[in-house]
């Protein structure tokens, strides 16, 4: 498995190399860092994801801007907690991962929603899809529109455990079988 953390703009030669790896059966995890790009850089990021990985993404959404419980557009909670309210009255956004095991991980930033059809959605913040997986070439692509790195750096045990599940030999073998 290959991991690409904090993906922003990407040189076409590197994108082609990643695609070639998937042609050879590699499973690729792309963590988007596009929430921190300029509008022009984000447009290039969108085009690159579509061209090389057939993946559509929407513009970044800042989950921390004006996210009081009264005006939060992600307040829908289908069976699990998506946000936790802090003492200040602001709610803290959480990604509800459904695969390879169900868990919630705190989001620290802006997210890039998944728009493409045909992917299995594996992570949501409320109704907003922010993580997906799909077969691509002879390998697979796991896309994280909510950066996991900040949670890992903060020592979030759920984030570590979830990433361990994704990269485990058993999960990779199951995913390879389709």
Could you report the per-residue pLDDT of 140-168, keeping only the tens digit for each?
999 999 999 999 999 999 999 999 999 99
For the segment 74-98, what is each residue's pLDDT rounded down to a tens digit?
333 333 334 444 444 457 899 999 9
Alpha carbon distances (Å) from 77 to 20, 122, 147: 39, 16, 21
Residue 61 CA: distances (Å) to CA of 8, 26, 36, 64, 113: 15, 30, 10, 9, 8
CATH topology of domain 2-177: Rossmann fold (3.40.50)
Question: Looking at 11-20, 54-63, 116-125, which range is the least confident one?
Answer: 116-125
Cis peptide before 90 (omega within 30 of 0): no
Average pLDDT over residues 55-62: 95
Summarize the confidence of residues 108-133 as an average pLDDT: 90
Parse the chain into domains and list their residue ranges: 2-177
- Phi and psi angles of residue 82, each rounded to the nearest 5 degrees, phi first: -95, -25
């Amino acid at each position: 498995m290959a991991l690409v953390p904090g993906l922003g703009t990407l040189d076409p030669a590197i994108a082609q190399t990643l695609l070639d790896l998937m042609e050879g059966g590699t499973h690729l995890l792309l963590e988007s860092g596009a929430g921190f790009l300029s509008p022009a850089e984000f447009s290039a990021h969108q085009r690159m994801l579509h061209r090389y990985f057939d993946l559509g993404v929407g513009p970044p959404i800042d989950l921390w801007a004006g996210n009081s419980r009264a005006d939060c557009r992600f307040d829908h909670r289908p069976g699990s907690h998506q946000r936790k309210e802090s003492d200040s009255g602001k709610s803290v956004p959480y990604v509800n991962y459904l695969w390879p095991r169900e868990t919630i991980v705190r989001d620290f930033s802006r997210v890039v929603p998944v728009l493409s059809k045909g992917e299995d959605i594996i992570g949501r913040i409320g109704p907003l899809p922010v993580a997906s997986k799909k077969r691509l070439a002879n390998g697979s692509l796991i896309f994280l529109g909510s950066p996991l790195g900040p949670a890992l750096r903060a020592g979030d045990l759920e984030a570590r455990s979830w990433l361990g599940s994704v990269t485990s030999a058993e999960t990779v073998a199951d995913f390879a079988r389709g």
